[in-house]
Amino acid sequence: MSSDLSTSVSLRNRLVLILIGGAAILALLLFFAIRNYATQVAQQGQDNIISASVTSILDAAAIRDGIVEVDFPYASFSMLSTAFDDQIFYAIYQDDIFLSGYERLAIARVAARETDFKTVDYLGSQVRVVTASRTLIGKDKRTQVRVALAQTQDALSGTLTQISRNAAVFGASFFALATLLSFWATSNTIGQLNRLTNSVTRRGPQDLSPFHKPVPSEMLPLVTSLNSLMSRLDHSLKQSEDFIAEAAHRVRTPLATVRSYAEATLQRVDKEENRQAMRSMVRAIDESSRAAGQLLDHAMITFRADHLELQDVDLSALVHDLVERLKPIAEMKDLTLRLHSDTQVPYKGDAILLQNAVRNLLDNALKYSPSEGVIDIQVTAKPNIEIRVYDSGKGFPKDELDTLATRFKRGLNAEGTIGSGLGLTIAMDVAVAHKGMLRLSNKAEGGACASLLL
Amino acid sequence: MRIIVTLVIWMLPQLVLAQAWEDRRVFENESAEQTLRIISSTDTALFAPIIEDFLSKNTGVSVEYLVNGTAKIDQIFRADPDKFDLLISSAMDLQLKTANDGLALRLSDVAHPSWAQWRQSLFAFTSEPAAIVVNKAAFADHQLPRSRQELIEVLRARPDVFRGRVGTYDVRQSGLGYLFATQDARASETFWRLMEVMGALDIRLYCCSGDMIDDLSDGTIAVAYNVLGSYASVRVENEDQIEVILPSDFPTTMMRTALVSNDAPHPKAATEFVQHLIRLQSDHPKGVFLLPSLKTQDSDVDRATIPLEPALMTFLDNLKRRRFIEEWENAVIQK
Ligand SMILES: Nc1ncnc2c1ncn2[C@@H]1O[C@H](COP(=O)(O)OP(=O)(O)OP(=O)(O)O)[C@@H](O)[C@H]1O
Ligand SMILES: [Mg+2]
């Protein structure tokens, strides 16, 4: 069934994809956010230390005897020591005159009390330069001392690599966790659907009762419409069965009336061609009546098969009753009915259906075997529970053996006998309803053999 | 000594640099394909066994060992960094600045504790304390000073004995002398008082440790301040004459360092030499490694080792140096 339906993307895959995709995006965002933040913090840290060093150098600047001296403390550079042994470069300017340090270090013009931060290239490596200035007031003039201090960024990038690594681990584990969670959430959600599917599949083919088990609120509409669909289906099925039964019943009664009139008329008509016509009429009526009867039975069987009522039945007794009831008809045709039965064959099944099936088999045997024949009926419990009817007639037409049990199918040998082609269908439906089967065969010495294997 | 220098210059006039080396020695390997040029402040006598050991293990290399004072070799090296493979010096500050200025090659495959190397380009391989070295003759029946403070007292007690017979580095000429002086000045005011006392006693100033130790051993001077004790013991033939005193107040300890030039003609062999040096200092085979090995800086005393950090460049600053020299001259050279 499912193969006929075209499927769009699986709900599970879609859910998993959305959740995992979301987690991946979040993890990446997280990673970059952490890294970005860490970069800022680390850069801030380096800036602070360099600024402190610059301040300590500027603090040491003084004018002595009209000459600018910058007797900065050992700690100025000492505080710049890093685990990665970063290089430091500096330059001290008085106004625009180079005083000391690295002459080629670019120095920003900064106003007093201003600090300039820059990342530049110096001697082939990236350095962070902090420039600040201080105004010194001498006896007769003011002078500005500017200090630029640069440090390479090995420690910074080392820290960043480490933080990046940690952030990556953090992001990855977040992603892994989210993925696990999304798989769990998805399978949990889909599980609800699967449970419903299972309970639909597990149902018998004719079980159209509504679902009562609790379902998640999101699935309530689906289950409700499923229930209503099934109740409508159930309703219309019952209606059509009722309709067939009703129709058959309604046809049968007037047919019986018509037949009795025709029969009466036949007695009174003398002319041979009229009698012939009347006989055909009676025959047609019989045919119709039989068909109506079989249709009614068939409808009944279809209905009961849906709601099989299993009860303890003794098959031996059941068949015995039937044989007894049919004996008068058999005697009329000079046929002998022989019942071979174990004393008791207990079985759990629907007695009415089983009766109907066996009656149809017996009916066929009576109908299709020639007079003075013998019909054997066997009821066995071992090795299988089996009811077998075989006669001494010509047997089933060989070519049609496989199709005789289909609806309205009559054999070539059935010409001239009244029948509707539903007898074997009924027998088979009953067998199938009891999880058994109907087997048709011909005996070697001739004669049809129909057996109900239950 | 002079004769050797003259000889070297005379014999090798084609030498690229017509430098006046204190010493120059070529250690030949017969199958050598390259000659490693090492410029160093360490006496050849102390380094020869190390180089010979290296040559025996690296037969493809010859070594040209060039010696001069710390300040000199710094100038020479900076002028032509592409003419030398290795720079070995006891002036840690100058060495660190050279490395800081990007002139030293980063050797990623040399394993060394972080406190004994800087930027993977400057490698320390000895721990040598600055000592007070005295000629015992001058202290025949007097207590030997154990600290700077005691030295001050000793000098003040017998000025007649010590006048003109105390010596130290001329910090204007010697890089190592400048390093020791600045580190001393940083550690304690006692240094300045000592300098003033020594200055008042007509201090003799030396450019190089060699001359100072020579004068000490022949009795020209009785006290030498801030000399490398280990160095003195090796140089002086008769060790009984002198006494090496590590000041108990704060022994300033220097680490001798080596770096490979960024433009070294033979960087691979130079790197191997550094590795060799580091291996020798930790194995310390007798008769080969004559210098004292690195001391781990765990104990309190060894904390006095000058750390390898950029702060070493502080006193190399022009303004700082000018001021320090001025102060030093005021203390030492009293008119
Ligand atoms: N015992 C038998 N011997 C020979 N042929 C048989 C026998 N039983 C059934 N058949 C063949 O199988 C066909 C189908 O039988 P089935 O019972 O379904 O229909 P029917 O007997 O023709 O009609 P009805 O519905 O009235 O029973 C028959 O038409 C007949 O040709
Ligand atoms: Mg029949």
Which position has the token pair 């380096």?
A: A46
Express each pLDDT in B192-218 by its tens digit: 999 999 999 999 999 888 889 989 988
φ, ψ of residue A377 to 5 degrees: the values are -120, 125
**Triad A356, A362, A363: Cα angle to 5°:** 85
Tokens of A442: 């011909």
Q: Is the predicted pLDDT of residue B297 greater than 60, yes or no?
A: no
Q: What is the mean pLDDT of chain A?
A: 89
The ligand whose atoms approach the alpha carbon of A403 most closely is 1
Q: What is the CATH number of domain A14-161?
A: 3.30.450
Mutate to test the interface with A, among B118, B315, B317, B327 (most CBs of A within 10 A): B317
B106 contacts on A by Cβ (under 8 Å): none
Ligand 1 near A347 CB (within 6 A): no
B102 contacts on A by Cβ (under 8 Å): 87, 123-125
Ligand 1 near A373 CB (within 6 A): no
Give, for ligand 1, the residue of A368, A376, A417 to mutate: max count of ligand atoms closer than 8 Å to Cβ. A368
Q: Is B102's Cβ below 8 Å from some Cβ in A? A: yes
- Specify the higher pLDDT residue, A242 or B267: B267
Closest protein CA for atom 26 of ligand 1 = A419
Ligand 1 near A423 CB (within 6 A): yes
Express each pLDDT in B95-120 by its tens digit: 999 999 999 999 998 999 999 999 99
Q: Is the predicted pLDDT of residue B6 greater than 70, yes or no?
A: no
pLDDT of amino acid A1: 42
Q: How many CA atoms lie within 13 A of A259 on its CB side?
A: 15
- For residue B335, the SS3 value is coil
**Mean pLDDT, to the nearest integer, of B215-234?**
88
Ligand 1 near A404 CB (within 6 A): yes
B314 contacts on A by Cβ (under 8 Å): 72-74, 76-78
Q: Is the predicted pLDDT of residue B335 greater than 70, yes or no?
A: no
pLDDT of amino acid A205: 64
- Of ligand 1's atoms, which has the minimum distance to the CA of residue A290? 26
Ligand 1 near A364 CB (within 6 A): yes
Among the ranges given (A41-45, A139-143, B68-72, B328-332), the one the predictor scored with the smallest mean pLDDT = A139-143
B311/A77 touch (CB, cutoff 8 Å), yes or no: yes
B119 contacts on A by Cβ (under 8 Å): 85, 87
Ligand 1 near A448 CB (within 6 A): yes
> How would you label A153-175 residue by residue, b for 16+ Cβ within 10 Å and e otherwise?
bbbbeebbeebbeebeeebeebb
Express each pLDDT in B131-173 by its tens digit: 999 999 899 889 999 999 999 999 999 999 999 999 999 999 9
**Mean pLDDT, to the nearest integer, of A310-323?**
92
Give the total residue count for chain A. 454
pLDDT of amino acid B146: 93
Q: Is the predicted pLDDT of residue A173 greater than 60, yes or no?
A: yes
For residue A452, report the distance from its CA to the centre of ligand 1, in Å.
15
Q: What is the mean pLDDT of chain B?
A: 89
A81/B102 touch (CB, cutoff 8 Å), yes or no: no
pLDDT of amino acid A48: 96
Domains of chain B, with CATH numbers? 2-127+255-304 (3.40.190.10), 129-253+317-332 (3.40.190.10)
Distance of residue A96 Cα from the nearest chain B Cα, in angstroms: 16
For residue A344, report the distance from its CA to the centre of ligand 1, in Å.
29
For residue B157, report the distance from its CA to the centre of ligand 1, in Å.
150
B234 pLDDT band (50/70/90 cuts)? confident
A125 contacts on B by Cβ (under 8 Å): 102
Ligand 1 near A451 CB (within 6 A): no
B254 pLDDT band (50/70/90 cuts)? very high
3-state secondary structure chain A: CHHHCCCCCCHHHHHHHHHHHHHHHHHHHHHHHHHHHHHHHHHHHHHHHHHHHHHHHHHCEEEECCEEEECCCCHHHHCCCCCCCCCEEEEEEECCEEEEECCCCCCCCCCCCCEEEEEEEECCEEEEEEEEEEEEECCCCEEEEEEEEEEECHHHHHHHHHHHHHHHHHHHHHHHHHHHHHHHHHHHHHHHHHHHHHHHHCCCCCCCCCCCCCCCHHHHHHHHHHHHHHHHHHHHHHHHHHHHHHHHHHHHHHHHHHHHHHHHHHHHCCCHHHHHHHHHHHHHHHHHHHHHHHHHHHHHHHHHHHCCCCEEEEHHHHHHHHHHHHHHHHHHCCCEEEEEECCCCEEEECHHHHHHHHHHHHHHHHHHCCCCCEEEEEEECCCCCEEEEECCCCCCCHHHCCCCCCCCCCCHHHCCCCCCCCHHHHHHHHHHHCCCEEEEEECCCCCEEEEEEC
Among the ranges given (A18-22, A87-91, A140-144, A246-250), the one the predictor scored with the smallest mean pLDDT = A246-250
Residue B314: closest C-alpha in chain A: A74
Parallel, antiparallel or unpaired: strands A448-453 and B23-27: unpaired
Closest protein CA for atom 1 of ligand 1 = A365
pLDDT of amino acid A310: 86
Provide the angle, in degrees to the nearest 10, between the axes of the packed helices A272-306 and A220-268: 160
Give, for ligand 1, the residue of A364, A369, A418, A440 to mutate: max count of ligand atoms closer than 8 Å to Cβ. A364
Neighbours of B150 (CB within 10 A): 17
Ligand 1 near A297 CB (within 6 A): no
Out of A71, A80, A86, closest to residue B320 by CB? A71
For residue A311, report the distance from its CA to the centre of ligand 1, in Å.
29
Amino acid at the residue A431: A
Amino acid at the residue A327: K
Express each pLDDT in B84-98 by its tens digit: 999 999 999 999 999
A85/B314 touch (CB, cutoff 8 Å), yes or no: no
Closest by Cα among A4, A76, A364 to B309? A76
Q: Pick A308-454's CATH classification: 3.30.565.10, 3.90.320.10, 3.30.2320.50, 3.30.70.270.
A: 3.30.565.10
B310/A74 touch (CB, cutoff 8 Å), yes or no: no
Q: Is B119's Cβ below 8 Å from some Cβ in A? A: yes
For residue A299, report the distance from its CA to the centre of ligand 2, in Å.
16
**Mean pLDDT, to the nearest integer, of A91-100?**
93
Q: Domain-by-domain residue ranges, chain A?
A: 14-161, 203-307, 308-454
A237 contacts: CB under 8 Å, gap ≥ 6:
A208
pLDDT of amino acid B14: 41
**Triad B320, A147, A39: Cα angle to 5°:** 120
B248 pLDDT band (50/70/90 cuts)? confident
Residue B119: closest C-alpha in chain A: A85
Tokens of B216: 């000490």
Q: Is the predicted pLDDT of residue A439 greater than 50, yes or no?
A: yes
Express each pLDDT in B183-192 by its tens digit: 999 988 999 9
A75/B311 touch (CB, cutoff 8 Å), yes or no: yes
- Of ligand 1's atoms, which has the minimum distance to the CA of residue A413? 31
Mutate to test the interface with A, among B320, B324, B328 (most CBs of A within 10 A): B320
